[in-house]
Amino acid sequence: MITPHEALHMVFSHLPSLRAESVTLDRAMGRRLAERIIADRDMPPAHQVRMDGIAIRYADFVAGVRSFHSRGIQRAGVEPVQVSVFPSCIEVMTGSILPGGLDTIIPYEQVEQSEQYGREYFTIHSEDVHCGQHIQVRAADHHSGDSLVSPGIRLGPSELGIAASVGKEMLLVDALPRTAILSTGDELVDVAAQPLPHQVRRSNAPALDAFLHVYGIHPSHYHLRDDAGELRRQLESLLHTCDLLILSGGVSKGRYDLLPEVLHDLGVTSHFHRIAQKPGKPMWFGTRGGCTVFALPGNPVSVLACAARYLGPFLRREAEAPRIALREPVGGHARLTLLMPVRVNRDFEAEMLDWNGSGDYGSLAGADGFAEIAPGELNDRCPYYPLRTFGYH
């Protein structure tokens, strides 16, 4: 058996190249950017007012003028007023363009408004004034042609806002993998069925489906019996049409765990089978052409533990995991790495959940992810693999 670290290294050694596709902004959330977003003009595009107040010429203030005749209002969204008679001022609103001929903003809090001979005046009652104050000069943030967002970043609200600000209605992003989930096992019945004592409902598929939806992936679903011929026919077809296959069950050492042999017969290269971890030890991973195959154990806790530990990093293309503090130190297994379900509080501390083995689905209620407990030592801080988040989706 290999270690979890070695297993993930093997997964990342066989990351497939990604196709790119163009999507509208409303479909780009959480997707990985495949182009560079460039400023299409200076930001801001002109000198911009940053405080509500009045705009004056600083030279008039230096000359001793404190009362300024108002010659109008400069609102945001309209062309700038041009001032040619001095001393005078213009009322300005935050976000408006600086009126021509003026160079300093005095906030409303530092002026008094009055009327003299039917004309409106503003009198400055502060001496703490300097030239250019409360003005964002043209291109102070970015110049036209500057790179604003680099390829590879996962798109969130801020990046989509930036894209909209430079007129990008469409974005080039990494295409989502064409994905299929395959549940195997004669003991599985539909969710709506009333199972007999020797049967169980298909719960792994909905769990994996929910896990993938966080990444924007909407997989197709299949259930296959423990029959080598049926497995071979269905898998051969899907290996041609899918980028990612996720199988559950059929990878242990039982007489009817047929997947490793069938996958080998179909030309899928096995990169590892069995990991020194609990749960999820029998996991199998392989590739054929452009298709990646994760064959996970059938027990439900094992499925989600392996999905969080290997499938999540594969989809995010991020091998490094955040580390999390444990509320109480936990001793490791003598030989195996433990993947323990945990609930995470606001201080990013993990509380271990009680569970009775890899078949105990009920123990996962409220689980946020899995903490990785190194073997043979006392752990108080450890890697954390989330179930509920996309990293940044």
Q: In angstroms, rounded to a whole number, what is the distance separating the alpha carbons of residues 68 and 89? A: 6
Contacts of 153 (CB under 8 A, 6+ apart): 32, 33, 159
Percent of the chain with pLDDT over 70: 97
Asked if the model's pLDDT at residue 393 lies above 60, the reply is no
**Range in 196-200, 243-247, 314-318, 352-356 with the lowest mean pLDDT:** 196-200
188 and 278 in a single domain? The answer is yes
Please say whether the beta carbons of 12 and 315 come within 8 A.
no
Most confident of 124-138, 223-237, 256-270: 124-138
Quick one: pLDDT band at residue 354, thresholds 50, 70, 90? confident
343 and 310 in a single domain? The answer is no
User: What pLDDT, on a 0 to 100 scale, did the predictor assign at position 251?
Assistant: 87
Asked if the model's pLDDT at residue 109 lies above 60, the reply is yes
Domain harbouring 8, CATH code = 3.40.980.10
Does some domain include residue 356? yes
What values do phi and psi take at 204, rounded to 5? -65, -40
- Give the structural domain span for 150: 22-42+145-174
Q: Which of 107, 136, 165 is the last residue of a domain?
A: 136
Q: What is the sign of the dihedral through the CA atoms of 21, 179, 263 and 359?
A: positive
Please provide the average confidence, as pLDDT, over all residues in the chain. Answer: 92
**Range in 9-23, 275-289, 325-339, 345-359 with the lowest mean pLDDT:** 345-359
Amino acid at 208: L
User: What pLDDT, on a 0 to 100 scale, did the predictor assign at position 316?
Assistant: 92
Q: How much is the average pLDDT of 315-320?
A: 94
Does some domain include residue 360? yes
Asked if the model's pLDDT at residue 130 lies above 60, the reply is yes
Three-class SS string for 59-89? Answer: HHHHCCCCEEEEEEEECCCCCCCECCCCCCE
192 and 304 in a single domain? The answer is yes
Domain harbouring 331, CATH code = 2.40.340.10
Does some domain include residue 366? yes
User: For the chain, what is the domain count?
Assistant: 4
269 and 379 in a single domain? The answer is no
**Range in 8-22, 76-90, 176-190, 352-366 with the lowest mean pLDDT:** 352-366
User: What pLDDT, on a 0 to 100 scale, did the predictor assign at position 391?
Assistant: 37
299 and 239 in a single domain? The answer is yes
Residue written as token pair 């047929």: 258
Does some domain include residue 248? yes
Does some domain include residue 309? yes
**Range in 324-328, 349-353, 360-364 with the lowest mean pLDDT:** 360-364
Asked if the model's pLDDT at residue 43 lies above 80, the reply is yes
Quick one: pLDDT band at residue 20, thresholds 50, 70, 90? very high
Does some domain include residue 391? no
Q: What is the pTM of this model?
A: 0.83
235 and 290 in a single domain? The answer is yes
User: What pLDDT, on a 0 to 100 scale, did the predictor assign at position 320?
Assistant: 94
180 and 95 in a single domain? The answer is no
Does some domain include residue 393? no
Q: Which of 78, 109, 136 is the last residue of a domain?
A: 136
User: What pLDDT, on a 0 to 100 scale, did the predictor assign at position 390?
Assistant: 42
115 and 99 in a single domain? The answer is yes
**Range in 83-92, 105-114, 206-215 with the lowest mean pLDDT:** 206-215
User: What pLDDT, on a 0 to 100 scale, did the predictor assign at position 359?
Assistant: 67
CA angle 195, 201, 204 (to 5 degrees): 170
30 and 156 in a single domain? The answer is yes
216 and 307 in a single domain? The answer is yes
Does some domain include residue 392? no
User: What pLDDT, on a 0 to 100 scale, did the predictor assign at position 256?
Assistant: 64
User: What pLDDT, on a 0 to 100 scale, did the predictor assign at position 190?
Assistant: 79
User: What pLDDT, on a 0 to 100 scale, did the predictor assign at position 392?
Assistant: 31
- Tell me: cis bond preceding 386? Omega within 30 of 0 counts: no
Residue written as token pair 């080598």: 228
User: What pLDDT, on a 0 to 100 scale, did the predictor assign at position 389?
Assistant: 64
Domain harbouring 91, CATH code = 2.170.190.11
290 and 201 in a single domain? The answer is yes
Q: How much is the average pLDDT of 135-163?
A: 97
Q: In angstroms, rounded to a whole number, what is the distance separating the alpha carbons of residues 7 and 27? A: 33
Domain harbouring 152, CATH code = 3.90.105.10
Q: In angstroms, rounded to a whole number, what is the distance separating the alpha carbons of residues 319 and 9? A: 8
169 and 28 in a single domain? The answer is yes
